[in-house]
């Protein structure tokens, strides 16, 4: 079947979403009928352990506009989104969650703004349905913290649900850093950006793949990726302690000489001071460690992800082939009728 190159690519990361795949496809197809131009749906299987891949293959076989990137293991949400952006070929790319919490209708509103000339259109969560008060509160605090301490203007209450023009996608794809925070990267590149508000729906099928541990990790990635503030906090604490020392020491000497009782006698006081100070010190070891671990991650130069196979995607049509580290076994490379090389299967590691 001959299909025209897509104008719009919709990218969805998938991790154990077997129940959502058929709905995701049918909803997107229904909405995209109103779009008019050719489109594609790039599904990135992030090492699902359920039947997600089989469900994806079924929709891919029925509709070749559905393309699949199958990871060799779970590499995490932000990495799956990165692969989707690498393999998308549209003039604009929309990132959407596979669980339909981001209603596909909103895509048309994003497209409208894109056609008005904006290069990044992000979807702002005006309301979040069906999530625990704890999740809503932590998310709210997270967005505000990031907004305050990072050097880029990352808009409040926006997830990854957004549209990016090809120029933005190319710029973001150039940045191969590990521990990625996609929202930060798309803000960092600049361009003309705007937001549209939407109501984030409850998840109907399956459960969240973001436990507290992963949320914290994303928060640390966001902070370390876009701010040096935590490294600078130590200097403020050192000022405060320094001032305390300058004031306290003469006072202690004076009280010691002037009063007959042994002032501040006892190990309890000393012990408390030592414990408090070492708590601060270990906290800053942790902070430094976070930055150092990320430096180490970059120096190892490992690929961001490893692709086990792709379906309906011609790898060398994308910007990554130069970065394919693990060579594809030559018997897996086939020539198309128009003499283009087509790699349907094989293992690729992408830096």
Residues forming the site for ligand UDP (CB under 6 A)? 13-15, 17, 46, 74, 76-77, 80, 97-99, 101, 208-210
* 3 state DSSP class of 205: coil
Q: List strand residue ranges (DSSP E) for 174-332, in order.
A: 193-200, 305-311
CB-nearer residue toward Mg ion: 139 or 324: 139
* Binding partner of 80, given Mg ion, ligand UDP, none, CB within 5-8 angstroms per partner class: ligand UDP
The distance of closest approach from Cβ of residue 97 to Mg ion in the complex, given in angstroms and rounded to an integer, is 5
Q: Are 100 and 20 in contact (CB under 8 A)?
A: yes
Helix axes 77-87, 166-174, angle to 10 degrees: 120
* Binding partner of 98, given Mg ion, ligand UDP, none, CB within 5-8 angstroms per partner class: ligand UDP
CB-nearer residue toward Mg ion: 102 or 221: 102
* Binding partner of 320, given ligand UDP, Mg ion, none, CB within 5-8 angstroms per partner class: none
Residue 312: CB partners within 8 Å, gap ≥ 6? 60, 64, 66, 67, 68
CB-nearer residue toward ligand UDP: 102 or 165: 102
Which of the residues 90 through 109 are near Mg ion (CB under 5 A)?
A: 97, 99, 101
Alpha-carbon dihedral 329, 334, 338, 341, rounded to 10 degrees: -10
The distance of closest approach from Cβ of residue 132 to ligand UDP in the complex, given in angstroms and rounded to an integer, is 10
Tell me, by CB under 5 A, how many residues bind Mg ion: 3
* Binding partner of 184, given Mg ion, ligand UDP, none, CB within 5-8 angstroms per partner class: none
CB-nearer residue toward ligand UDP: 115 or 144: 144
CB-nearer residue toward ligand UDP: 84 or 230: 84
DSSP string covering 40-88, please? EEEEEE-S-SSSHHHHHHHHHHH-TTEEEEEESS---HHHHHHHHHHH-
The distance of closest approach from Cβ of residue 187 to Mg ion in the complex, given in angstroms and rounded to an integer, is 21
The side-by-side arrangement of strands in the sheet containing 158-165 is 193-200, 120-128, 158-165, 92-95, 8-14, 39-45, 66-71, 305-311, 345-350
Residues near Mg ion (CB under 5 A): 97, 99, 101
């Amino acid at each position: 079947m001959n299909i025209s190159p897509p104008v719009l690519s919709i990218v969805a990361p998938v991790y154990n979403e077997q129940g959502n795949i058929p709905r995701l496809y049918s909803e997107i197809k229904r909405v995209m009928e109103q779009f008019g131009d050719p489109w594609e749906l790039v599904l990135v299987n992030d090492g699902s352990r359920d039947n997600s891949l089989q469900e994806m293959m079924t929709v891919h076989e029925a509709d070749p506009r559905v393309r699949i990137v199958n990871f060799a293991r779970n590499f995490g949400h932000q990495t799956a989104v990165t692969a989707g952006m690498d393999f998308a070929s549209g003039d604009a790319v929309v990132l959407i969650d596979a669980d339909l919490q981001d209603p596909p209708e909103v895509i048309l509103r994003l497209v409208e703004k894109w056609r008005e000339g904006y290069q990044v259109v992000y979807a702002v969560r005006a309301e979040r349905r069906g999530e625990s008060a704890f999740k809503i509160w932590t998310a709210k605090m997270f967005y505000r913290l990031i907004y305050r301490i990072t050097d880029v203007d990352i808009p409040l209450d926006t997830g990854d649900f957004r549209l990016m023009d090809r120029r933005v996608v190319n710029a973001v794809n150039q940045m191969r850093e590990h521990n990625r925070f996609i929202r930060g990267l798309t803000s960092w590149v600049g361009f003309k950006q705007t937001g549209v508000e939407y109501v984030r729906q409850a998840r109907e099928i399956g459960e969240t793949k973001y436990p507290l541990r992963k949320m914290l990790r994303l928060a640390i990635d966001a902070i370390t990726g876009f701010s040096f503030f935590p490294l600078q906090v130590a200097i403020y604490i050192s000022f405060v302690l320094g001032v305390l020392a300058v004031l306290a020491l003469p006072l202690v000497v004076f009280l010691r000489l002037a009063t007959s009782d042994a002032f501040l006698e006892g190990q309890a006081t000393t012990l408390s001071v030592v414990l408090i100070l070492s708590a601060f010190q270990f906290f800053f070891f942790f902070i430094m460690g976070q930055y150092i671990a990320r430096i180490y991650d970059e120096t190892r130069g490992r690929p961001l992800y490893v692709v086990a196979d792709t379906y309906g995607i011609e790898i060398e049509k994308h910007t990554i082939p130069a970065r394919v580290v693990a060579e594809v076994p030559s018997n897996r490379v086939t020539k198309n009728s128009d003499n283009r090389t087509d790699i349907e299967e094989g293992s690729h590691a992408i830096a």
